[in-house]
């Protein structure tokens, strides 16, 4: 079983040199790419939830100490924990269902590309979002970065000619 550290290292390699990363992607199976994506999605969802909780509690503590506010910490902690858990589930929802919807829409425009290859490129191009989305207020720039990497992946993709009788046609 591959560790999260290996997936993060592969993601950093992709971000350093997208062309080399997509050459590496051609050697990987769909199962490996989906597994790496889902594991990183789970980790980043929990990291984002924890960062959100600490950031919001720190902000509340700052306002409590610098202003003359009456803060009920039990209620604030409960509210912020619920907010952080909803953020975790939002990451999981967006990372799975929305990714599926977007990939089916993109497949309409790339009819000659096999869906599994498109999905591998899409999942691989989300590494900027997976690695840095826990940082508050930079989601738009990460999305643009992911779109840029996706365009590089689509340019580098080479379709493989497969005969109709081949068992590889199922992919």
* Span 8-49, pLDDT tens digits: 888 888 888 888 888 888 888 889 888 889 998 998 889 888
Q: What are the angstrom distances between the C-alpha of 76 and each of 7, 80, 99, 134?
A: 36, 6, 33, 21
Distance CA 89, CA 150 (A): 25
pLDDT in tens, 58-98: 888 888 888 877 788 888 889 889 999 998 898 888 888 98
Whether pTM > 0.95 for this model: the answer is no
């Amino acid at each position: 079983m591959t560790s999260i550290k290996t997936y993060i290292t592969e993601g950093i390699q992709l971000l350093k040199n997208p062309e080399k990363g997509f050459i590496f992607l051609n050697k990987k199976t769909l199962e490996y790419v989906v597994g790496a994506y889902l594991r990183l999605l789970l980790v980043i969802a929990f990291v984002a939830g924890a960062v959100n909780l600490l950031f919001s509690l720190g902000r509340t503590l700052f306002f409590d100490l610098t202003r003359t506010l009456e803060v009920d910490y039990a209620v604030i902690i409960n509210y912020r924990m619920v907010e952080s858990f909803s953020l975790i589930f939002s990451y999981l929802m967006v990372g799975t269902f929305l990714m599926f919807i977007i990939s089916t829409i993109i497949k309409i425009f790339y009819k000659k590309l096999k869906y599994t290859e498109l999905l591998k490129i899409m999942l691989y191009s989300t590494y900027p979002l997976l690695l840095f989305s826990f940082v508050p207020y930079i989601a738009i720039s990460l999305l643009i970065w992911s779109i840029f990497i996706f365009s590089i992946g689509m340019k580098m993709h080479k379709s493989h000619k497969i005969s109709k009788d081949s068992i590889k046609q199922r992919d």
